Amino acid sequence: MNPPSHGVTLASIYEARARIQGQVARTPLVRSLTLSERFDAEVYLKLENQQPSGAFKLRGATNMIAALMDRDGLEALQRGVTTASTGNHGRAVAFAAARLGVPAVVCLSELVPANKAHAIEALGAEVRRVGRSQDEAFQEVARLVNEQGMTLVPPFDDPLIASGQGTIGVELLEDQPALDRVIVGLSGGGLLGGIGAAVKGIRRGVQVTGVSLSQGAAMWESLQAGQPVDVEEVASLGDSLGGGIGLDNVCTFALVREVMDDHVQVSEGAIARAMVDLLQHEKILVEGAAAVGLAAIDEHGLDIRGQKVALIVSGNGVDLATFDRARSLAGR
C-alpha cells in the first residue's frame, strides 16, 4: 500500500508522541456537566489551553524541531529558526527554541493582537511585523531562510507539524475510547488534519467536524474551489483561525479533505457567546479560536444528542480587552 501523499499516518503520529514526551503536557479531557446537560450529550473539553506555551501548537513545533535535531544535529540549527504565525505557533516555536538555546525570529502580520506578540517576545524570540496578512509575513520568512540560512518551522503545512498535533487524537481515544465525534477549529489544517488522522486510524467511525470563521476562511474557500486559493484576511475574535493555506500547499489541504466529515462556519457573535459561556460555566478564559466548537453546536444546532463529543479548547491567547469586546458583542 502506497503511503498517503500528505505524509501523515498513524505511525508518524506515534513517532511524534515518542519525540515530544516530557516536552509538552498531556492535557486533561474533562467532562462538562453544564454542556452535557444543555445538549443532552456527553461533552468533553480537551484543554490544550493548559500547554506551557498556552496552546496546542507546542506539539507540532516541538516535534519538528526535535526531528530536525535528530536528523541534522543541533549545529544545523545554530543560525536559528523562523516562522510566520497568527500568534500561537510563534509562541510555540519561541518556547521550543528557547529550551534548546536556538535563536528564533517570528514574523507576524499587523492583524495579530499585541498580547500575542508580547508573549512571543517574552520567551526571547525576535518579533517582526510584516504586512497585513500571514502570506505577507511569510515573504520575510522566505528571505530569512534564503539569505541568512535560518530553518523554517512552518505553522501547519508539514507532516511533522500535523503529526505532532495528531498526538491530541491519540490522547482523546485513550481517555474516551467510545468517542463519537470531535469538533475542531479549522484554519491551515494541521490541527484538524492531525487529529483526524489519529482518531480515524484508531477508530474509523469517529466523526470529525471542522469549524471555520464566517469570513476570511482560506481552507473553507479552498475546499469549495477544489484547490488552494487566496482569501483576504479579516480581523476576528477567532484570529488564530485566520491566514492563508498557501497556494503551494503540500500536506494539509489533501489531509483535511481525507479526514474531515463535515464543516461549518461560525459568526463573530457565536464566537463571543461561546467565549463568555466557557468563562461563566467552565471557569476557563480562552481565545476565540478555542471556543468555536461550542459556537458551532450553538449556532448551527448540531444534533449531538446521545453522543460522546470532544471539543478542542485550543489556546488561551486572549487579553482582557479582547474578552471585554466579546462580552459586549455577546450582550452579556
Q: Which is catalytic among the residues 57, 116, 200, 308?
A: 57
The mean predicted confidence, pLDDT, of the chain is 94
Q: What is the CATH number of the domain that holds 113?
A: 3.40.50.1100
pLDDT of 78 > 90? The answer is no
Q: What is the pLDDT of residues 116-143, one digit of tens each?
A: 899 999 999 999 999 988 788 989 999 9
pLDDT for 15 equals: 98
Residues 315 and 304 in one domain: yes
Residues 275 and 137 in one domain: no
pLDDT of 150 > 70? The answer is yes
| Those residues with Cβ within 8 angstroms of residue 155's Cβ, 6 or more apart along the chain or in another chain | 57, 83, 84, 85, 86, 89, 134, 161, 188, 190, 243
pLDDT for 234 equals: 87
Neighbouring C-beta atoms of residue 269, cutoff 10 Å: 16
CB 229 within 8 A of CB 37: no
The verdict on whether 57 is a catalytic residue reads yes
pLDDT for 133 equals: 83
Neighbour-count burial of 284, counting CB atoms closer than 10 A to its CB (0-12 exposed, 13-18 middle, 19+ buried):
middle
Neighbouring C-beta atoms of residue 5, cutoff 10 Å: 11
Residues 191 and 148 in one domain: no
pTM here is 0.94
Q: Phi then psi for 303, rounded to 5 degrees? A: -85, 100
Domain for residue 5, yes or no? no
Residues 201 and 277 in one domain: yes
pLDDT for 2 equals: 64
Number of domains in the chain: 2
Q: The domain containing residue 237 runs over which residues?
A: 10-55+158-330
| Those residues with Cβ within 8 angstroms of residue 249's Cβ, 6 or more apart along the chain or in another chain | 157, 222, 228
CA–CA–CA angle 174, 153, 9 (5° rounding): 35
Q: How far apart are CA 13 and CA 9, in angstroms?
A: 6
pLDDT-derived band at 113, boundaries 50, 70, 90: confident
Q: From the centroid of its chain, how far is CA 256?
A: 13
Stretch among 1-10, 42-51, 240-249, 294-303 having the lowest mean pLDDT = 1-10
